[in-house]
Amino acid sequence: MAWSKMKQQLESFLCPALHGRVEYRSTSYRYLPDKAGQCYIAVDKKNVLNMIDITALIRWYQTELEIKNDPDIQIPINDEEIEAVRKDTKGIVPDDRLKLIARNRKISEYAKELLSAQSALSKSNFIVVVNKFLSISIEESIESNDILLNILALVDRRVGKKRILNMSEKMKLKHPIVQYFYGLRLSGL
């Protein structure tokens, strides 16, 4: 599908409050095959999410440290995760340390997911994700771990006010750019 057709379909799905504020843009270089094009999402004429920004790549360890040191990030730990740590350590670790180990494991997983999601943003990936978004249900897009699917679903008019309001807890665990678009959608309610 051509980019212009994709863009037209995406913009037809925008919720009324964000129509005209959120734009999908693409550039390509016809005569420079070695230079990749760019896709980005603009809000109020400002590029918010650039799909080929090399400077956006961060190291996994830095991300892990940022998550650990940020008091606003809440990492819920359930009993199953604590039991998995107990099983891995053969029961020789005290109970108070089990929670800490389980939390650190979960933080490490989130950091790896953030890094892989950030490094996967490119024009070709954007087009693949848009095609996927247009062919799957809105529920699958919301539940996905893919940043772009989450963003596209959040600005979609098929996601109602009640569902948006019920997502607040889930959004705390999402990537900051997904949280930004969630806040943008909340402001338009």
Same-domain pairing of 131 and 182: yes
pLDDT per residue as tens, the chain (189 positions): 777 888 888 888 898 888 888 988 877 665 555 555 677 788 898 888 776 644 444 455 666 777 777 777 777 888 888 888 888 888 888 888 888 888 888 887 777 776 666 555 555 677 788 889 989 999 998 888 888 889 999 999 988 889 999 888 888 888 888 888 999 898 877
DSSP element (H, E) containing 99: helix 95-119
Last residue of a domain, one of 85, 100, 118: 118
Residue that terminates a domain, selected from 102, 118, 134: 118
77 and 46 fall within a common domain:
no
In the chain, the number of structural domains is 2
48 and 10 within one domain: yes
Last residue of a domain, one of 118, 148, 168: 118
**Do both 70 and 94 map to the same domain?**
yes
DSSP designation for 25: E
Q: What is the pLDDT of residue 56?
A: 40
| pTM exceeds 0.75 for this model | no
113 with 88, same domain: the answer is yes
Nearest to 50, CA basis, from 36, 65, 66: 36
Q: Where in the sequence is the domain holding 79, given as residue range(s)?
A: 60-118
- Are 83 and 173 contained in the same domain? no
What was the pLDDT predicted at 171? 86
pLDDT, position 136: 92
| Cβ-contact 54, 40 below 8 angstroms | no
Instruction: Show the tokens assigned to 114.
Output: 């953030």
Q: What's residue 175's pLDDT?
A: 81
Residue 55 pLDDT: 43
